[in-house]
Amino acid sequence: MARIIAGVTSSHVPAIGAAIDLKKTEEPYWKRVFSGFERSKEWMAKTKPDVVIAVYNDHASAFSVELIPTFALGCAAEFPPADEGWGPRPVPVVKGHPKLASHIAQSVILDEFDLTIVNKMEVDHGLTVPLNLMFGSPKEWPCPVIPLAVNVVVYPPPTGHRCFMLGRAIRKAVASYPEDLRVVIMGTGGMSHQISGPRAGLINSKFDKAYLDGLTKDPRKLTRIPHMEYMREAGAEGIEMVMWLIMRGALDDKVKEVYRFYTVPASNTAVGHIILENAPRATKSKRPPRAMRPAAKGAAKGAAKAKRAAAHEAKQDLVRSKR
């Protein structure tokens, strides 16, 4: 059976992609950002997932105001990088996993999540920047990636609760896939930022850090944050964080936070990143089941008592024979 082993969140700031493509990662401004993902890349290289599900939002690259799917699942065999106005990013084509993606689509739609199936799609920085942050810049991405595009650009975006419940449905879908695959799910976007208007450049570290805490310990509380609160506290584009709740909904209630990184700013945006692991699946113990242990212990105790009684009886026989 397939299973989701871990979840990762990451910002997807376009300027991070530009810094990689223009080889500026060693410049002090960017080194501060990229150094925070060194441990993440090590974790990913060690974890070696078979498939990644990447929850992200399209920025008018594959979709436009003519077509606004709330949830769109990429079921194609591959997803080329989109031209976002200055040519496609020099990153590998994202290879999908059509079989697992189709299975997830069927499962979640029958679970009453009416997502859009996408069989042809280009992917923009929203997806490729987090892949760079977690995998570096390889010639080929090391595993298939299933894109899940969420509308957080045009009102109304889905609620945090809806996103969390979709994560739950994805978790169920993955668990019913027969092949033994280890899946990592990524939630991208955020954290606090606003790119236009009088509050452009807004960053709210207090809100962001509390959100990271909540993601690990009390995600259901986060699902109750209304859109207006995201707008007020985290800026107009802070609503991207609802996508993180899809990732979190796909994990166990209790998770292990293995890494966290937060820095400001990166191109006027707060960069937040967290890695959460599900507890490993229970393995069969060589010890007898707990319920059997007291009885076994009791039997051993009884045998020892009988042995002592027999020894005592033998000693008494000896004493009696000498009389």
Catalytic residues: 125, 193
Both tokens assigned to 93: 């084509």
Q: What are phi and psi of 30, to 5 degrees?
A: -85, -30
Q: Which residues contact 271 (CB under 8 A, 6 or more apart)?
A: 11, 13, 16, 33, 36, 191, 261, 262, 263, 264, 265
Q: Which of 156, 151, 161 is nearest to 73 (CA)?
A: 151
Q: Which of 302, 258, 307, 300 is nearest to 279 (CA)?
A: 258
Contact (CB, 8 A) for 189 and 243: yes
Residue 9 Ramachandran class (φ > 0 left, ψ -120 to 50 alpha, else beta):
beta
Both tokens assigned to 196: 């236009």
DSSP 28-61: HHHHHHHHTTHHHHHHHHHH--SEEEEEE---SS
Burial class (CB within 10 angstroms; exposed 0-12, middle 13-18, buried 19+) of 280: exposed
Reduced to 3 states, what is the DSSP secondary structure of residue 122?
coil
Q: Which of 51, 66, 37, 25 is nearest to 146 (CA)?
A: 51
CA distance linking residue 283 with residue 294, whole number of Å? 22
Q: Which of 72, 122, 132 is nearest to 93 (CA)?
A: 122
